[in-house]
Every structure is written in structure tokens, then in C-alpha cells.
Amino acid sequence: MPRLILLAPMEGLLDHSLRDVLTRVGGVDRCVSEFIRITDQLLPLRVHTRIVPELLAGGRTAAGTPVRPQLLGSDPGCMAENAARLATLAPPGIDLNFGCPAPTVNRHRGGAVLLDEPELVHAIVAAVRRAVPVAIPVSAKMRLGHRDSGRMIDCARAIADAGAAELVVHARTKVDGFRPPAHWDRIAEIRAAVRLPLVANGEVWNVEDARRCLEVSGCDALMLGRGIVADPGLALALRGERVPEWSELLPLVAQFWHRIAGHVAPRHRAGRLKQWLNMLRRRHPQAQAAFDAVRATNDPLAVAARLFGAAPVHHPAHQPAPLARA
């Protein structure tokens, strides 16, 4: 099974609150944050620490899992300047986004649309690599392409030749979105073309998916996204360890609720919780009752009363112990 398990960046879902919960469950070696958008200015450090507050705690979650901040942008010079400033916070690494499929991001020349321009991809990675201390790894994440996979190998080579230390490949194009299947065999083609550690990503929902993905791609590392959000014990299952039961996850659902109360506007809190509960139903049938209890309300007081028997109070000092392993 995998040598390395990474937690994926998922804009609008997998932020620092959910990273905290999922890494408490265990089995994850490293996280990548949701992207920090770089346009035409040098961002103050508070922007980086707002999106990746783990940077204020040694770049690790409360469970001790390293988090690499991810930058997204198309201007090599501006990306380099912002990476250099970010490096002053001593992150465990810096990741670069060449995979976001969001139309708004792509219209502003960010994410997967850059895969049409391998030369620019190379320039961005090279500029960031030169701008940060050699001790800070620079990695990247890409899809198979924008509209098609015609420049897939060119982009992977551009990233490798520019000095990246690692490449995550989401085995779909931007046009594919998140529709199955993920084309793990195309990752094997990239492996044959570049001398760079590769991490396979896409459509891994269970142990059997992981086994087939590693076999077909030839990789020994995986990045988990929706699969581990739906099944927080997935990383442990891949390591052959005991997987938590629903009763053990419930306190972490409550912790997630308390955490988002500290940084999510009241009108959006219920939506964030329902989003996660909706995905948890895929693996845990018991999550259906929790989802049904709050489906019809967006009132934080009602949500807290129905699920947790109390009003939503943010307790930043409350740090439940990680789940015990068998």
C-alpha cells in the first residue's frame, strides 16, 4: 500500500477546520492547503496565515501533520515575490496549483488553464524555486491537461526541469471535472517521461480503489480528497490500521462545528456542516440521521441544538485527543 498519503486541497470544503479533524483521525503524512490566490501584488503575511493558520504553529496541524501552503497565479515574478515572503514563515514546503478547474479561476488565467502553456508553467516553478531557500521543498499539482491531455508530458517535464521536488497528478483534465473515471494509466505515462516523485490523485474512495490506482499508475504515493472527506478513516484503512466507528467520529464532527463557528459567518455555518455530513453518508449510514436533522435549517442555534444539544460556542483551547489506534 502507499508509502506516502497526502491530504488534498479542496477549495470551499477542505480548509484548516476540516484538516484539523481529519488529521486527528490519523494516517495522513502531509496536507496541502487550499490555494492562496496571487494576482499583481505582494500579499501581507496575514493573508497566508488566515488561509493556513497552521503557519503560526510550526506549519503543522494540532495532530502534528505538516501543511504545505499552495499558491495559485500566472505571473512568475509575482509568484516568486510572494513565495519569498511566505518562506519567512518557514513552511514545511510550498505547493503550486496547476490543476484548479474552477471557471472563475481559469478565466483569470489560473489553475488548469495554464496547462496550455508549458513554458509558462516552467517559468513559474523555476521562479519560485529560485526565490525560496533550498531547504524549503517546492512541489506542484497538475491535471492531465486543460481541454485535453495533448500537452500533459510537456507540462510534467516543465515542472520537473524547473526544479520541483514532487508532482501530484490528478488523473483527469479540466474538462473532465470530477466525473469518473480517473485515468490512472496516464499517470504511468508521465512516470515514464520524468524523473520526479509522482503522487497519484483522483477517484480513490476505498482500499480496493487505492490498490488498483497504485498498480495502474505505478506510483507509491497517493493524495486523498473526496474519498477521505467521505471516509475519515480511509488513510488508516490503507495502512491496515483500525478504522474509527461512527461513535468515535461524532466528537470530531462537534469539534468541526465549534471550529467553523470561529471563522465562518453564521449564515454559512450550517451549509458547511451539511456539506460534510452529506459526504459522510457515503461511508457511514448513521450520518443520514444527522443530515436529516439539520437538512431544513440554516439557523446555527437550531443546528447546534439538534445535533449537539447546545448553542454553537467556539472553544479554541479545546483540543480532544487523537483517536486511539489498535
Among all residues, which ones are annotated catalytic? Answer: 100
Neighbouring C-beta atoms of residue 166, cutoff 10 Å: 22
**200 SS3 class:** strand
Are 254 and 113 found together in one domain? no
Cα–Cα–Cα angle for 218, 116, 190, rounded to 5 degrees:
10
Are 232 and 276 found together in one domain? no
Q: Report residue 253 as a C-alpha cell.
A: 464532527
Do residues 74 and 124 make contact, with C-beta atoms less than 8 angstroms apart? yes
Are 203 and 272 found together in one domain? no
CATH number, domain of 123, equals 3.20.20.70
Are 131 and 172 found together in one domain? yes
As a whole number of Å, the CA-based R_g of the chain is: 19
Average pLDDT of the chain, as a whole number = 93
Helix runs in the chain, H state only: 16-25, 45-51, 76-87, 103-107, 118-131, 152-161, 184-193, 207-217, 226-230, 234-238, 246-260, 266-280, 287-294, 300-308
Distance (Å, whole) CA 27 – CA 30: 9
Domain span including residue 159: 4-238
Whether residue 3 has pLDDT greater than 60? yes
Are 233 and 191 found together in one domain? yes
Are 215 and 232 found together in one domain? yes
Q: How large is the average pLDDT for residues 155-174? A: 98
Q: Residue 310: its pLDDT value, please?
A: 62
Number of structural domains (the chain) is: 2
Query: 96 forms bridges with which residues in the sheet?
Result: 71, 140
Residues 80-131: pLDDT tens digits?
999 999 999 999 999 999 999 988 888 888 999 999 999 999 999 999 999 9
